[in-house]
Homo-oligomer: A and B are copies of this chain.
Amino acid sequence: MKLSGVWYPLISDIGRLWVERTDRPIRVTSFDVAEKAGVNQSTVSRALNDDPAIKDSTKAKVRTAAEALGYYVDTRASALRRDRTGTLAIVVIGRPGTDAHAINPFHYSLLGSICAAAAGRGYQSLVSFQSEPTDFSDHFVRSRQADGLILIGTRNNDEAWEFHRGGANAGKVAIWGSTLDDPGSIASDNVTAGKLAAERLLAAGRKRLLFVGDIDDPQRQFRERYSGFCDYLRATGHTVTDPVFADGQTRFDQGRASVARLLASKCEFDALFCCCDSLALGVLDGLRSAKVRVPEDVSVIGFDGLESGLHCIPPLATIQPDFGAAGVMLVDAALGSIAPGEQQRVPVKLIERASAGPVAK
């Protein structure tokens, strides 16, 4: 029988070595299991991998021995030999200068869904948060730490996206969010989202519907939401107006500032579709400061499905992507099961809450 090596003792030697006070951890290898089960080491491997060539009785013998010894297959050795890792790398891009715990909750939800989808496909998830250039790293696939890479997070970190563009993982990357130049990206069905928002606001009996948000944001999804919103208004014979937007430090600030500008402009409106929930929360705050009542005077709908929208006043109606579907699509794309170049769209649904106002009879 081949020995399992010189560094670590066979299980059968533990007693002796314990007495010799070795401080090396005791390791159980497939050779130990083989010895205990009275079979060859290769049979252990085959049995544990459920090879149909192995007799059931042998499998049972091996499994019993493995369990008795507390044996687990060494993932590193297995991965090295099989030439796969069984792992997906997930990179979450954050705003420069902010802590990892200040990540947009939307991306945390997405992260959770991705990990769940990866687990469903039998993959582990190697997660890293990258905000500063010193954090940047993309060699997961090249260094055989992962079989594919998923990129999510804020688009407001040019350095990070620049770094990851055509990085060391070429061909095995899935990206969340739509841009013109990322061919394999996955995003919400933003056009439908815009349509759903317009439809619902019209159903509330609203006449002057506006879009709030920056359609020139690097986050191109905002533009798509605006476009779907306008398309539906046009198709139903309504007036289409330019988006309302004033800049600010955070999305919340942008929402407040946009409302301020809008009210100052004396432009008439009775419904707002906001590009995202965090901006919508700022919009609600701005409207409240100005004593504009929601939803009595103005209906508001956001996008994202953030938890914060549940506890604001009034609770924020919002359009939420199907996180489960998003996770699965991203994982499949990273594993190469989706033809590159295809832009996948994640279904969205309206979450009814008070801010949208009741549907008119």
Q: For the complex, count residues of A whose C-beta is within 8 A of B.
A: 55
Instruction: Report yes or no: A144 in contact with B99, Cβ–Cβ below 8 A.
Output: no
Closest to A28 in B: B142
Contact of A125 among B99, B119, B127, B323 (CB under 8 A): B127
Minimal beta-carbon separation of A334 from chain B (angstroms): 15
Instruction: Report yes or no: B108 in contact with A127, Cβ–Cβ below 8 A.
Output: no
Copies in the complex: 2
Question: Is A60 interfacial (CB 8 A cutoff)?
Answer: no
28 A-B pairs (CB sep. < 8 Å): A7-B83, A70-B168, A72-B142, A72-B144, A74-B143, A75-B143, A75-B144, A75-B145, A76-B79, A76-B80, A76-B144, A80-B80, A92-B112, A99-B112, A100-B115, A101-B113, A102-B109, A103-B108, A105-B105, A105-B108, A115-B129, A124-B145, A126-B127, A252-B311, A281-B311, A307-B308, A308-B311, A312-B312
Q: A120-146 interface mask toward B, CB cutoff 8 Å, 1 = contact, 0 = none?
A: 000011111100000100010011110
Question: Is A313 interfacial (CB 8 A cutoff)?
Answer: yes
In Å, the complex CA distance between A324 and B129 comes to 14
In Å, the complex CA distance between A86 and B256 comes to 45
Interface residue ranges of A81-103 to B (CB < 8 Å): 83, 85, 87, 90, 92, 99-103
Contact of A110 among B101, B252, B311, B313 (CB under 8 A): B101
Interface residue ranges of A41-91 to B (CB < 8 Å): 70, 72-77, 79-80, 83, 85, 87, 90
Question: Is A240 interfacial (CB 8 A cutoff)?
Answer: no
Evaluate whether A168 and B72 lie within 8 angstroms (CB atoms) in the complex, with A77-B80, A108-B105, A124-B145 already known. Answer: yes
Closest to A141 in B: B72
Instruction: Report yes or no: B127 in contact with A115, Cβ–Cβ below 8 A.
Output: yes
Question: Is A244 interfacial (CB 8 A cutoff)?
Answer: no
Contact of A100 among B75, B90, B112, B307 (CB under 8 A): B112
Apart from A99-B113, A101-B113, what 7 extra A-B contacts exist at CB < 8 Å?
A: A7-B83, A72-B139, A75-B145, A76-B76, A77-B80, A87-B126, A108-B111
